Amino acid sequence: MSTAGMIEISEDECLKLLRAFEFGRIAFRVGDVLEVFPINYHADGRDVTFRTAPGTKLAGVLLADDVVFEIDHIGEREAWSVVAHGRARRLDSGKELEEAEQLPIRSLVPSVKREFVRIEISRVSGRRFHRGRQPDPAAEPLVDSTD
């Protein structure tokens, strides 16, 4: 679907874009508080894995019913955004933790992060935007709401 410079990205392409990058944001609500955190991650199939330390991010993401994960890119001619929804769970089995330790997840700031969390994606969507010159407002007709 396309609407005035915006094109929907297919689910397959959304998942491919998630696999191609390593930095995004998670958002979740706990009670009345909405939280957003940047994370480094690894995506595989419909799973996004990240590592963290004990604290607000870990506690909140595990308490939340729905976690939103988002990545985007803004270039000269094109911008896009991918948004995934799912449930998060802490990895705790020996095999899962061993496999997670091998993932190429690099923290932006050197720190000890021993906890691994996996977001199991239930739905994903994306949009691609074609960028260009901004229209001249004077060339746009004004809409008269009394018509």
pLDDT at 131 (0 to 100): 80
Q: What is this structure's pTM?
A: 0.83
| For range 110-130, the mean pLDDT | 93
What contacts 44, CB < 8 A, 6 or more positions away?
19
Mean pLDDT (the chain) is 89
Q: Is 26 in contact with 36 (CB distance < 8 Å)?
A: yes
The more confidently predicted of residues 36 and 138 is: 36
Confidence class of residue 112 from pLDDT cuts 50, 70 and 90? confident
| For range 129-146, the mean pLDDT | 72
pLDDT at 133 (0 to 100): 73
Nearest alpha-carbon partner for 89 in 124, 54, 50: 50
| For range 115-126, the mean pLDDT | 96
Considering Cα of 94, then 95, then 98, then 103, what sign does the dihedral take?
negative
CA angle (16 as vertex; 10, 18 as ends), nearest 5: 105
